[in-house]
Chain A
Amino acid sequence: MRTGLPFDDVLAAAQAGAAWAFEVLYRALSPSVTGYLRLHGAAEADDLASETFIGVFTGLSGFSGDEDALRAWVFTIAHRRLIDDWRRRSRRPQVSDDPGDLTELPGGDVEDDALVGVGTETVHRLCAVLPDDQRSVLLLRILADLTVEQVAEAMGRSVGSVKALQRRGLRALRTGLENSSERVGAGAHPYEPLRR
């Protein structure tokens, strides 16, 4: 999380309820939190992210810790909001069919945007085939930059369980990637456009 300001100052101001500090934290954490929820197929990822940050800001007065701890806490809340949402909907999460959610990426070049859009759709498709727990582990590690121990705490699991889920998730991912490569064609990597 790069706020551009001393983290302790931002945290202290946010704990006092300062709007500017909320804005700084929101800008720093919202992209990854919203991305996490979207890649989990949350139907209303923006709303869930908003609920997450409302919970963070109203509960921030009791927090103490560094940036890593704050990020882990924020993603823990996001993860639990997601689980609550799944339970509310009582169905398996599905990939959002709202193209606006998938293609809202920065850029100005139409061709680049289209390529990124294709890559984004592939990412969503691959994530959708992963079991929920495996997807949670991989996304928390990639997007939240959490350690295995932090992921274990966020998900309420043991470290060994998280390591096993990660291993199985990577294996499933490799299989999915190989299938994608076969579909795209020999020599064409599904993420080539994103490696800019």
Chain B
Amino acid sequence: MTTAADDTADEAAFEAFLAGRPVPEEADGGSHAVAAFAGAVRATATLPGRPSAALADLLAAGLLTDQSSPSIRTAPSAGRSLRRSRVRRRRRFAMLFPALLAKFLSAGAVAQAASGAGICLVAFTGAGVAGVLPAPVQDTFSSVVGTGTAGGTTVPADPTGTGTATVTDTVTETGDPVLETPVVVAPTDLTLEDWAKGPAPEQAFGDWVSDGARHGYADGKTISEWAHARNEDRHGGADDSTAPATASGAPEAQDDDSAKESGSRSGSGGHRDGGTSGSDGGSHGGSHGGDNGGSHGRG
């Protein structure tokens, strides 16, 4: 039968062990056993675990923050990102066009005439810039608008971009189309959504993590989910179903704790543990707003 005195003695022995002090002599055998248990617990935790492949990549290569010359392996994902953005633009236009057409048809006659004139003007300007107008018209157009270009570089006449100098920087004197070079990775090409979809098939996991960190998308939860999926792939064979469930690329829904953490994070700010993830979030000790709220004073 454990008494209140035993509880007090056990707590004293426990605290003494944690503080590195000897167990009080007046403690009974049970309190000594409690302290011995604590020592046994520590004895079981002496070796590091086996790091997963993703963690091993991090431990071997770190998070490369300075990548002025992007690696070849990042090029495919960048090219894919460009393609995706073009597809998105096309889809957006496809959605907007019917709405614009309906609005135009429902407008009054004067409005339609004005809009039609505007469209013709824009079309004429575009054709003139492209140099596809008949020769006399083109000459006239060039004499009026041609002052806007110099040496193949477009200089906007109006710094605000709202004036008549609508010539874009893709127009050169040679008329050569602008070639896309998928090897060049612009820092803004990678969106959070793209990054959250995980590493490209031929992309190293570490490179994917580094990309995310460089763009500020690095999210411990997302990375863990993908690492977990990758490990499962390695253990049980490739299976797309093991990929983390994403809502537009985001990791799985957060639990109650996560919601609470995100609330406390917004209260104290400070640490950012992975952007959208709330799993490691929350506020943390003093200047750190990661997981623990408040300070970590010794009690």
Query: A: which residues have CB within 8 A of B?
Result: 16-23, 26-27, 30-39, 45-47, 49-51, 53-59, 61-65, 68-69, 72-73, 76-77, 80-81, 83-84, 87, 102, 104-106, 116, 119-120, 122-124, 126-127, 138-139, 141-143, 145-150, 153-154, 156, 159, 166-167, 170-171, 173-175, 177-178, 181, 189-191, 194-195
A147 to B231, CA, bound (A): 35
Contact among B14, B55, B285, B286 for A170, CB-based, below 8 A: B14
| Known contacts A153-B294, A167-B7, A76 near B62 by CB under 8 Å | no
Number of interface residues of B (CB under 8 A): 81
In the complex, which residue of chain A has the Cβ closest to the Cβ of B290?
Answer: A73
Residues in A with CB closer than 8 Å to B279 are 55, 77, 80-81, 84
Return the CB mask of B250-289 against A: 1 if under 8 Å, else 0: 0000010110110000000011111001011010111111
A58 to B284, CA, bound (A): 16
Which interface residue of A19, A58, A122, A189 has the most chain B CB atoms within 10 A? A58
Return the CB mask of B12-23 against A: 1 if under 8 Å, else 0: 001000100000
Distance in Å from the Cβ of B66 to the closest Cβ of chain A? 9
Residues in A with CB closer than 8 Å to B45 are 31-32, 34-36, 38-39, 143
Residues in B with CB closer than 8 Å to A68 are 296, 298
- Looking at B32-40, B126-134, B177-185, the stretch in contact with chain A turns out to be B32-40
Which interface residue of A20, A45, A142, A189 has the most chain B CB atoms within 10 A? A142
Contacts A38-B45, A58-B223, A58-B273 aside, 17 further interface pairs with beta carbons under 8 A come to A31-B45, A31-B47, A46-B51, A53-B55, A55-B280, A57-B63, A58-B220, A58-B274, A65-B288, A69-B285, A73-B292, A76-B291, A80-B279, A123-B41, A174-B10, A189-B36, A194-B43
| Known contacts A63-B290, A149-B299, A177-B30, A47 near B280 by CB under 8 Å | no
Number of A-B contacts defined by CB within 8 Å:
284
Residues in A with CB closer than 8 Å to B61 are 19
Residues in A with CB closer than 8 Å to B289 are 62
Contact B37 A22 (CB under 8 A): no
Contact A26 B59 (CB under 8 A): yes
Contact A72 B54 (CB under 8 A): no
A166 to B296, CA, bound (A): 18
A161 to B270, CA, bound (A): 27
A21 to B51, CA, bound (A): 16
| Known contacts A123-B37, A143-B41, A170-B34, A80 near B257 by CB under 8 Å | yes
Contact B34 A58 (CB under 8 A): no
| Known contacts A68-B296, A153-B293, A171-B10, A59 near B65 by CB under 8 Å | no
